[in-house]
Amino acid sequence: SAVISQKPSRDICQRGTSLTIQCQVDSQVTMMFWYRQQPGQSLTLIATANQGSEATYESGFVIDKFPISRPNLTFSTLTVSNMSPEDSSIYLCSVLRGARTGASGEQYFGPGTRLTVT
């Protein structure tokens, strides 16, 4: 498995501000993902971040709201922009290990960033 760290682990932010979350992996990985877990709910994929290309966003998520950087094979950032209380969630990054074609590759998750917007 991969060792994944996230910073910050938690934050309380005011509405209208932005927060950048960092995800660091202890080995090089091709595919990284960002998920959101709203209170008491399941995980929803925000976007897939591949090194050297633009992130691919899922339906309902846009780059202006959730810009993502992937400068190298061990690091990615997710920014939550112009925050509102509805953005209060746990944000998790994950990496894909296993077969590159993905059907059998499992994902390993970071510890998450707990964001509260007031």
Partner 1 sequence: GNSVTQMEGPVTLSEEAFLTINCTYTATGYPSLFWYVQYPGEGLQLLLKATKADDKGSNKGFEATYRKETTSFHLEKGSVQVSDSAVYFCALGATNKLIFGTGTLLAVQP
Residues that bind partner 1 (CB under 8 A): 1, 31, 33, 41-45, 48, 92, 94, 96, 101-112
CB of 75 to partner 1, least distance (A): 18
Strand 31-37 with 43-50, pairing: antiparallel
Give 77 or 112: the residue with its C-beta nearer to partner 1: 112
Give 34 or 77: the residue with its C-beta nearer to partner 1: 34
Query: Which residues are CB-contacts of 64 (< 8 A; sequence separation ≥ 6)?
Result: 81
Strand 19-25 with 75-80, pairing: antiparallel
The DSSP call for residue 58 is P
User: What does the alpha-carbon distance between residue 96 and residue 83 come to, in Å, rounded to a whole number?
Assistant: 28
For 86, list phi and psi in degrees, rounded to 5.
-65, -15
Give 83 or 92: the residue with its C-beta nearer to partner 1: 92
Give 87 or 91: the residue with its C-beta nearer to partner 1: 91
Structure tokens given for 81: 């922009």
CB of 3 to partner 1, least distance (A): 11
